[in-house]
Amino acid sequence: MNMKNTILSQKDLALLEQIVLHYSKIVSFEQIQEAIGNEISDGAARKWVAELTQAGWLIRLKKGLYLVVTDISTLGFIDVSELTIAQALIGDSYIAFDAALQYHGMFDQMLARIDSVTKGTTKAYKVGQTIYQFSHIKEDLYFGFNEETLGNDQVKIAHAEKALLDMLYFRTSDYAVSLVLEKLQDYQEELDFARLKAYSLRFSLGTVRKLGFLLDQVGVETADLIAQSNVKENSYNRLTHEADQFNAKWRLYYDSQTFG
């Protein structure tokens, strides 16, 4: 399995194509070994992988995980969906926040970071110029996503409603709150507000209060949400760190400069 510079032998190219056919364009070292079979030793297999990685035919995503390149025109470049890469980096996760909203056609800005939610440990990877951030969530909040087909791969992507709630749950910045408010206002025809409210009741009381307050701002009925929750209990929450004005209905502090 020799190669010189970026030119692959027919045997090497056939092997890469076989790996993609049997697995996918994203494969583990163990899958590469399995495809090679008993033809070479473990050490020789690692050397071959290292040489192809250096030449750009394999792109290392993380330890033991590679993207296979079979077209010389894309040599050294990542030519699969960033969402597919995120799913491959941590299988027990789903695409969340802005990236999920973008998938649903509700966010049109370029993303320098792909956010996912996982039951596992919070961590981040950098592949090329993209950061892949994984945020830990407790098991009973690990819901609200579908498996979508992207190319030949399956990727778990949050429903738009769950993506908005996750943002309220994880983030307290003015930007995050403003973004959620914007989506609630601009996509009232696309969002399932019954699902949004039902999902919110599985979150903390603080998240219910935040959602209820924002729904009031865009004219969506919230009497049913109040009836099903305990927002009147003797406690309070803050919408953002800068919150300075109290809303008695939701027992929530909000930023008077933003919501006047």
Per-residue pLDDT tens digits for 6-15: 677 888 888 8
Beta carbons of 111 and 98 less than 8 angstroms apart: yes
Tokens of 70: 């079979």
- Closest Cα partner for 165 from 183, 147, 189? 183
Element (H, E) at 52: helix 42-55
Beta carbons of 95 and 155 less than 8 angstroms apart: yes
* pLDDT for res 2: 43
| pLDDT, tens digit, 9 for 90 and up, residues 65-118 | 999 987 777 666 677 899 999 999 999 999 999 999 999 999 999 999 999 999
* Maximum alpha-carbon separation in the chain: 72
Q: How far apart are CA 37 and CA 93, in angstroms?
A: 31
The answer on pLDDT for 257 being more than 90 is no
* pLDDT for res 12: 85
Helices (H), 68-188: 82-89, 97-103, 160-170, 174-186
The answer on pLDDT for 1 being more than 70 is no
According to CATH, where is 1.10.10.10 located in the chain? Answer: 10-74
Q: How far apart are CA 34 and CA 19, in angstroms?
A: 9
| pLDDT, tens digit, 9 for 90 and up, residues 113-165 | 999 999 999 999 999 889 999 999 999 999 999 999 998 889 999 999 999 99
b/e code 239-250 from CB counts within 10 Å (16+ = b): bbebbeeebeeb
pLDDT band with cut points at 50, 70 and 90 for residue 4: very low
Q: How many CA atoms lie within 13 A of 89 on its CB side?
A: 28
* pLDDT for res 76: 62
In the predicted model, what is the mean pLDDT of the chain?
Answer: 91
Q: How far apart are CA 15 and CA 9, in angstroms?
A: 10
* pLDDT for res 148: 97
To the question of pTM greater than 0.75 for the whole model, the response is: yes
Instruction: Please report how the helices 42-55 and 29-36 are oriented relative to each other, as an axis angle in degrees rounded to 10.
Output: 120
| pLDDT, tens digit, 9 for 90 and up, residues 162-201 | 999 999 999 989 999 999 999 999 999 999 999 999 999 9
| Domain 10-74 sits in CATH 3.40.50.1820 | no
